[in-house]
A and B are shown apart, each in its own frame.
Chain A
Amino acid sequence: MARVNQIEASLIQTLKEILSPDRVLTSAEDIVPYSFDGTAALKQRPGAVVFPLTAEEVSECVKLARRNNIPVVTRGSGTGLSGGSVPLSGCLVICLVKMDKLVEVDEKNLTLRAQSGVITKEIDDACAKVGLFYPPDPGSMKISTIGGNVAENSGGLRGLKYGVTRDYVMGIEVVLPDGTLTFLGNKCVKDVAGYSMKDLFIGSEGTLGIITEVILKVLPRPKARKTMLALYDSMDAAAKTISAIIAAKIIPCTLEFLDRVTVQCVEDYAKIGLPTDVEALVLMETDGHPTVVEEEAAQMMELAKANGAHDVRAAADEAEGAKLAAARRNAFSALARVRPTTILEDVTVPRSELATMVAFIDGVAKKHHLQIGTFGHLGDGNLHPTFLTNERDHEEMHRIEVALEEIVEETIRLGGTVTGEHGVGLAKKAFLKRQLGEGSYELMRSIKQALDPQGLLNPGKIFDLRN
């Protein structure tokens, strides 16, 4: 299958002059591995992949692409789950993984400054060394880049207490679609000078600009943490526990759940001695000052029992905590092994509707004869219904489409969102308008139109520019 390289040889030459020859990839063996990100079943081969080292180099590449009308897709480590960094056929991929300098940890202002290609975990590791804490912990944090996290506004397990990536971004350096290099925001906690422009770019999925550096807010590291596990005969009882905990004025840092299918898969795979007849497994964690943590943990365990948990365990130390967390940690791995293709969704509903939504998904799975394991974040209503399938089975893939459609309908009906933390990208594009309504959908498109009239930055992601 021959594919036309839409980037002409003379442009490749210019790119090599702007960067250096070894930072411009064009051969099939070099670029086939950039045809996808972490999203299942999406694949397109780019024309070239380049690796800038500075914001100025990014700017030069963008200017060149603009002059020659070549689409640009920005990429970090390519772990996204909505197809946000899947290339367009023949496009220019700007990969930022080599812009990996952690510029400073400012202990006086509690901020951290890093280039976009720095790995998320390295940011928290650098914080930990001086007793600080960067809370957002997306599942891919060992390899995801901070630039990608900001562009996708990534979540993680600590959303309820600590929020998401957006809550930690104080400033960004960004290359605009015309190549202009600018800085939005600063280290000030208070700043009301004009529009909060940085917020426009957080979660913009590479469609409005290319983020090249970030200033992050960091926190003092919590001194203690306690892990607990509770098993339930109904998802309702699990959900009631959470409401009771929050009503008791406790904000736990982790409230994660696994449904029956997921618990069964975890037990099959990891053999950690879980009973397989439970309807919900809940992992709870509280962190902070040691005495407060002890007090809150005791209260949470009592509330779990009072609301119908038939088995509640608490870890005595970190090592035991890790054992209790094993079920949640293994959830995705266990599901992913069952069938060749794993489709991970992230519909999110208001916390109060979570039990309803889980029951609905269960019903959809039965109706369409599909394997769906659901796990996710009880505390913030973010669900991960995970479809276990085979992308080569077209008939089953069609049933998944129908099922997903029904899940999305119900999510919107319950006042939820089609994506809690993965982004719209290509995967959720079809549902966006339904959720947003005409008004805000058109507002988004007009912003895109204003900033990127040629539509060259990550075109076709989130929405199409024209109808």
Chain B
Amino acid sequence: MPQADLLKSLDYSVLQQCMHCGMCLPTCPTYVETKLERNSPRGRISLMRAVADGDLDVSRALSDEMYYCLGCLACQTACPAGVNYAELFETARAEVEQAQVNTGMQRGFWRWLALNVIFMRPWLLRMVGRVLRLYQSTGFDKLMRKLHFFGLLPRSLAKLEPQTPRISEHFSNEVISPEESPDGKREYRVGLLTGCIQDLAFSNINRDTADVLLANGCEVVTPGSQCCCGSLHAHNGELELARELARRQIDSFDLDSLDAIITNAGGCGSHLKTYGHLLHDDPFYAAKAKVWDAKVKDIHEWLVQIRFRKPTAGAGVNEVTYHESCHLCHGQKVVSQPRQILASIPGLVFKELPESNWCCGSAGIYNITQPEQSQKLLDRKVENLRQAGAPVVATSNPGCHLQIANGIRSCGDHPCHEVTQPVTLLARAYHAERS
């Protein structure tokens, strides 16, 4: 068995920074579920440290544990010692992948197809999107469901089918021009990242993001074809592919000419801000990546930073609550800004969601790899949304958006019937000013 030694070669002080005080335990969704230390952040770190110390072999059980972790980073918010769990968790997953302890033809094939093929090629990803769109728009999916075709698939796949995102009629490059200028005075020039899932399923949210930027004096530069940011790869143990994508991403913008690079997906943003670390050994990109990190801004963070203009009209919604994307609040520490944006909209009552920063179970591809635990977290979220009682929930990550939409749809009688995003509501309010 090939023994990788990523954990052994990791700067030991990152592991050592954990003083195992246990403050992370009550914030960890998997620990709270099982009350077993190995399912907790400090437990997982102790396993990583045992591997680094040579006291523990890299095993299938270790791999299972690293993939049971949601990577929600709630532990990073709770940690008094500032442990960089994101780095530890990515390194540990890369270690178990390199050690090849997690065998299985099927897993290997799907990983290869997704990580090495589809998500490395934006044109291919959009082609997959087009096929899915055709399949959905012709009603073929409904026919298949009527014929109980999915009953023929393995149960795990059949269960996923209803979760397939509804593909947008147009992709981002069809609704946003490569350069758009604000009507009034140009105050800033920013790049806009359109994402992968966001591009396929929510290009309208990308349009809304461009609109609110334009309404606030930002010239918006949006390359028509953008690659995946690589967060999917980094979180799934493929650090080399993640580095390759980071280089391409940096190259797709003229950094010097931009005041900021805007992302509107919590999960992507959290990863996009760590290119500096990811590429710190790269002689050509290390310096550029540092500049990149400093310029990447979450849309809410940016709007508050530039003192966005408060809309004078409403968004056509009376009450809203807000679910926090883990990587926006725990990863990027963007907590108050989305709430400030919602609170700025006239006539919109903001209702706080109980456990608003508790993971919804989407967690990248966790809902596919760990459907059972994912469903438990979704049920918890759906119940909290019921308690909040608002008809609309805003969030800021395509994964959360799809997961919560599936959750409330399957309930039937849920008081919350619309999932949207803060920028969408803000864009609606700006539009309403003109009418």
- A positions within 8 Å CB-CB of B: 1, 25, 27-30, 32-38, 40, 51, 77-79, 97-98, 100, 119, 140, 142-144, 332-333, 336-337, 340-342, 390-392
CB distance from B223 to the nearest CB of A (A): 36
Q: Is the CB of A36 within 8 A of B38?
A: no
Query: A2 — nearest CB in chain B belongs to which residue?
Result: B55
Asked whether, in the complex, the Cβ of B80 is within 8 Å of the Cβ of A29, the reply is no
B82 touches A29 (CB 8 A): no
What residues of B have a CB within 8 angstroms of the CB of A29 in the complex? Answer: 38, 47, 56, 59, 61-62, 65
Main SS class of interface, A: loop
Chain A nearest CB, measured from B21 CB (Å): 5
Q: How many residues of B contact A (CB 8 A)?
A: 32
Please determine whether B22 and A32 come into contact, CB atoms closer than 8 angstroms: no
* Contact among B35, B56, B80 for A32, CB-based, below 8 A: B56
Q: How far is the CA of A1 from the CA of B51 in the complex (A)?
A: 11
B16 touches A97 (CB 8 A): no
Instruction: Give, as a whole number of angstroms, the nearest-CB distance from A95 to chain B.
Output: 8
How many angstroms from the CA of A390 to the CA of B23 in the assembled complex? 21
B63 CB → nearest A CB, Å: 10
10 cross-chain CB contacts under 8 A: A29-B61, A29-B65, A30-B38, A33-B46, A140-B22, A143-B22, A337-B81, A340-B17, A341-B16, A342-B19
Inter-chain contacts of B21 with A (CB < 8 A): 38, 79, 140
**CB-based contact B55/A27 at 8 Å:** no
- Is the beta-carbon distance between B61 and A27 smaller than 8 angstroms? yes
Residues of chain B contacted by A36 (CB below 8 angstroms): 20, 46
Extra A-B contacts (19), CB below 8 Å, given A29-B65, A97-B35, A119-B26: A1-B54, A29-B56, A30-B38, A32-B38, A32-B47, A37-B20, A38-B20, A38-B22, A40-B19, A78-B37, A79-B22, A140-B22, A142-B23, A333-B80, A336-B80, A337-B80, A340-B16, A341-B16, A390-B13
In Å, the complex CA distance between A143 and B24 comes to: 9
Q: Is the CB of B22 within 8 A of A78?
A: yes
**Chain B residue, CB-CB nearest to A81:** B21
Instruction: Tell me if A34 and B13 are in contact (CB < 8 A).
Output: no
**Which residues of B are found within 8 Å of A32, using beta-carbon distances?**
38, 46-47, 50, 55-56
With A and B bound together, what is the CA distance between A119 and B32 in angstroms?
12
User: Chain A nearest CB: distance from B19 CB in Å?
Assistant: 5
B23 to chain A, nearest CB (A): 7
Chain B residues 40-62 with CB under 8 Å of chain A are: 40, 42-44, 46-47, 50, 54-56, 59, 61-62
Within 8 A of A (CB), among B69-85: 80-82
Contact assessment for A1 and B55 in the assembled complex, using a CB-CB cutoff below 8 Å: yes
A142 to B27, CA, bound (A): 9
* Bound CA–CA A115/B9 (angstroms): 44
Closest beta carbon of chain B to A325's beta carbon, Å? 16
Q: Is B12 an interface residue (CB 8 A)?
A: yes
Complex Cα–Cα for A100 and B34 (A): 13
Chain B residues closer than 8 Å to A1, beta-carbon distance: 54-55
- A33-B37, A342-B19 known; A336+B46 contact, CB < 8 A: no
Contacts known (A40-B19, A340-B13, A391-B16); A33 close to B38, Cβ less than 8 A: yes
Q: Which of B12, B54, B80 has the most CB of A within 10 A?
A: B80
Q: Shortest CB–CB separation between residue B43 and chain A, in angstroms?
A: 3
Closest residue of chain A to B27 (Cβ to Cβ) is A142
Does B175 lie at the interface of the complex (its beta carbon under 8 Å from any beta carbon of A)?
no
Q: How far is the CB of A261 from chain B (nearest CB, A)?
A: 17
B81 CB contact (under 8 Å) in A37, A51, A98, A336? A336
* Contact of B128 with A by CB under 8 A: no
Q: Does B265 contact A (CB under 8 A)?
A: no
Q: Which residues of A contact B38 (CB under 8 A)?
A: 29-30, 32-33
Contacts of B213 in A (CB 8 A): none
Interface residue B134 (Cβ < 8 Å from any Cβ of A): no
Q: How far is the CA of A78 from the CA of B55 in the complex (A)?
A: 21
B46 and A143 contacting across the interface, CB-CB below 8 Å: no
Which residues in B have their C-beta under 8 angstroms from that of A79? 21-22
How far, in whole Å, are A341 and B40 apart by their CA atoms in the complex? Answer: 20
Which residues of chain A have C-beta atoms less than 8 A from B13's C-beta?
A: 340, 390
Which residues of B93-146 are within 8 A (CB) of A? none
Q: Are B22 and A336 in contact (CB under 8 A)?
A: no
- Residues A34 and B37 in contact, CB atoms below 8 Å apart: yes
Set of chain A residues within 8 Å of B42, measured between Cβ atoms: 33
Contact assessment for B46 and A35 in the assembled complex, using a CB-CB cutoff below 8 Å: yes
Chain A CB within 8 A of B36 CB = yes
Closest to A51 in B: B35
Q: Chain B residue with minimal CB distance to A25?
A: B36
**A28-B56, A29-B56 given; A142·B26 CB < 8 A:** yes
Known contacts A77-B25, A143-B26, A336 near B82 by CB under 8 Å: yes
CB closest chain-B residue, reference A119: B26
Residues of B within 8 A of A38 (CB): 19-22
**How many Å lie between the Cα of A37 and that of B17 in the bound state?**
15
Docked complex Cα distance between A25 and B82 (Å):
30
Q: Provide the bound-state CA to CA distance between A340 and B15, in Å.
A: 9
Q: How far does the alpha carbon of A374 sit from the alpha carbon of B113 in the complex, in Å? A: 55
B19 in complex: contacting residue of A97, A142, A336, CB < 8 Å: A336
Min CB gap B402→A, angstroms = 32
Report the separation of the CA atoms of residues A336 and B55 in the bound assembly, to the nearest whole angstrom: 26
**Residues of A contacting B54 in the complex (Cβ-Cβ under 8 angstroms):** 1
Q: Are A33 and B56 in contact (CB under 8 A)?
A: no
CA of A466 to CA of B20, assembled, Å: 31
**Cα A98 to Cα B37 with chains together (Å):** 12
**Chain A residues positioned under 8 Å from B62 (CB to CB):** 29
Establish whether residues B19 and A143, one from each chain, have CB atoms under 8 Å apart when the complex forms.
no
A140 to B25, CA, bound (A): 11
Bound CA–CA A297/B137 (angstroms): 69
- Specify which chain A residues have a CB less than 8 angstroms from the CB of B55 in the assembled complex: 1, 32
